Amino acid sequence: MPSSPPVSSAAATAMAETGATISSRERYGGLIWLVSAAFFMQSLDSTIVNTAVPAIATALHETPLNMRSALTSYVLTLAVLIPASPWLCDRFGTRRVFGVAIGVFAIGSLLCGVSQTLPELVMARVLQGCGGAALMPVGRYVLVRTIDKRDFVQVMSTVATFGLLGSVLGPLLGGALVEYTNWRLIFLLNVPVGMVGVWLNLREMPEYRLDTAHRFDLFGFLLFAAASALLLAASEFAADQTVRWAQMGMLVMLALVFGITYVWHSHRIEHPVADLSLLRVRSVWVALSGNLLTRLGISGMFLLIVLFLQVGCGWSPLMAGMMMVPQALGSISAKWLVNRMLIRLGYRRLLFGNTLIVAVLLALFALLGPHTPMLLIALLVFVYGGFMGMQYTVMNTLVYTDLDIRHASMASSMASTTQYLSMSFGIALATILMQNLLHGQSNAAYVAAFRWTVIVLAVITAIASRVFARLDKVPPAGSVSSTA
What would the pLDDT profile of 110-130 be if each residue is shown by its tens digit? 999 889 888 899 999 999 888
Q: What is the spatial distance between Cα 115 and Cα 318, in angstroms, rounded to a whole number?
A: 23
Residues 6+ apart with CB under 8 A from 296: 422, 425, 426, 429, 460, 464
Q: What is the pLDDT at residue 212?
A: 65
Reported as a pLDDT band with limits 50, 70 and 90, residue 61 is: confident
Q: pLDDT tens across 256-267, in order?
A: 999 899 889 888
Reported as a pLDDT band with limits 50, 70 and 90, residue 424 is: confident
- % of the chain surpassing 90 pLDDT: 11
Q: What is the pLDDT at residue 1?
A: 40
Could you tell me if 214 and 272 are in contact, meaning their C-beta atoms sit under 8 angstroms apart?
no
Q: Can you tell me the mean pLDDT for 174-199?
A: 83
Q: Does 364 have pLDDT greater than 90? A: yes
Q: Bigger pLDDT: 83 or 379?
A: 379
Reported as a pLDDT band with limits 50, 70 and 90, residue 247 is: confident
Q: Bigger pLDDT: 452 or 249?
A: 452
Q: Can you tell me the mean pLDDT for 321-349?
A: 81
Q: Does 326 have pLDDT greater than 80? A: yes
Q: Can you tell me the mean pLDDT for 446-470?
A: 90
| Strands in 210-323 per DSSP E | none
Reported as a pLDDT band with limits 50, 70 and 90, residue 303 is: confident
Q: What is the pLDDT at residue 107?
A: 92
Q: What is the pLDDT at residue 240?
A: 58
* Residue 454, Ramachandran bin (φ over 0: left; ψ between -120 and 50: alpha; else beta): alpha
Q: What is the pLDDT at residue 31?
A: 82
Q: Can you tell me the mean pLDDT for 222-248?
A: 73
Q: Does 371 have pLDDT greater than 70? A: yes
Q: Does 388 have pLDDT greater than 60? A: yes
Q: What is the spatial distance between Cα 191 and Cα 197, in angstroms, rounded to a whole number?
A: 10
Q: Does 164 have pLDDT greater than 90? A: no
Say which amino acid occupies 457. Answer: L
- Chain centre to alpha carbon of residue 360: 22
Q: What is the pLDDT at residue 476?
A: 39
CB atoms within 10 A of CB 152: 17
Q: What is the pLDDT at residue 423?
A: 81
Highest mean pLDDT: which of 81-90, 435-444, 456-465? 456-465
First-residue to last-residue Cα distance in the chain: 22
